[in-house]
Amino acid sequence: MTDDKIDLNKLSTLPPDDVKEKEIREKTVELLQQLKDFQAKLYAQAKYAVLVIIQGMDASGKDGAVKNVFSGVNPAGCRVKSFKVPTEEEQKHDFLWRVHRECPEKGMIQIFNRSHYENILVPSVYKLLDKDVIKKRFGAINAFEKLLKDHDTIIFKFYLHVSEKEQLERINERLTDPMKRWKYQEEDIVETRHREEYMRIYEKIFRDCNEVPWTIVPSDKNWYKNYCILHTIVKELSRYDIRYPHEY
């Protein structure tokens, strides 16, 4: 099984060489309009729910992805949930409790900025839980995502892949740019020291939490990151029968 394992260090964080920024930006504008159209129909039809999970290290561009991919979509049909350190109440429940209540009903697009995968990542890196407890979580997540799929939820899972250099530059920017200073937290620096460990856990997750496949997004360039996410979503939604209920 270890053979199928993705090696993140071998995957580029940059756009492919033959890609032209100008063309990608033009395509992105088209894709944004297509996503907007899909959302309107999804909401009217209320047949499918859409769940977009965005994972990635600190400063990998998760917030920017939410903003740049989903601004433009009618907020009546699109919700964003950022999962932070669990509250006291949340900690008294199983780790999927707080996640489950934020899952989209039919007709809605729900975006998770971080997700239940943090409950594998953090305890693995900081050795907060026994290995067998973490192993059970893999099983629980697979069963959970299957449950959602069986309820006609179309799920996307994105990992935003940035280089260490780019990551450190962005964290530094948070310290110097007054418009970004509010995002800086001391933990950012601490977390980057664990970069390699995080990557090893992500590689396990990609292999073992594959009930819904992952999309690994080269994310050093925001224009390419946004395009990849949009393109993946629009292409997949095109495969479903999404239309106004009285339209034939």
Site of interaction with a copy of itself (CB under 8 A): 36, 44-45, 63, 66-67, 70-76, 78-80, 82, 111, 113, 178-179, 181-183, 244-248
Residue 7 C-beta: closest distance to a copy of itself, Å: 32
Exposure string for 89-126, b = 16+ CB within 10 A, e = fewer: eeeeeebbebbeeebbeebbbbbbbbbbbbbbbbbbbe
Count of other CB atoms within 10 angstroms of residue 37: 13
Closer to a copy of itself at the Cβ: 14 or 40? Answer: 40
- Kindly give the pairing relationship between strand 78-82 and strand 214-218: unpaired
3-state helix, strand, coil in the chain (%, to 5): 55, 15, 35
For residue 39, which amino acid is it?
Q
The set of residues, in sequence order, having a beta carbon less than 8 Å from that of 232 and lying 6+ positions away, is 156, 158, 215
Closer to a copy of itself at the Cβ: 35 or 237? Answer: 35
Closer to a copy of itself at the Cβ: 72 or 86? Answer: 72
The set of residues, in sequence order, having a beta carbon less than 8 Å from that of 79 and lying 6+ positions away, is 102, 104, 108, 109, 110, 111
Residue 80 C-beta: closest distance to a copy of itself, Å: 4
Residue 84 C-beta: closest distance to a copy of itself, Å: 12
Closer to a copy of itself at the Cβ: 50 or 209? Answer: 50
Residue 63 C-beta: closest distance to a copy of itself, Å: 7
Closer to a copy of itself at the Cβ: 74 or 91? Answer: 74
Residue 105 C-beta: closest distance to a copy of itself, Å: 12
Residues facing residue 55 across a β-bridge: 159
Q: What is the CA radius of gyration of the chain?
A: 18
Closer to a copy of itself at the Cβ: 63 or 90? Answer: 63
Residue 223 C-beta: closest distance to a copy of itself, Å: 18
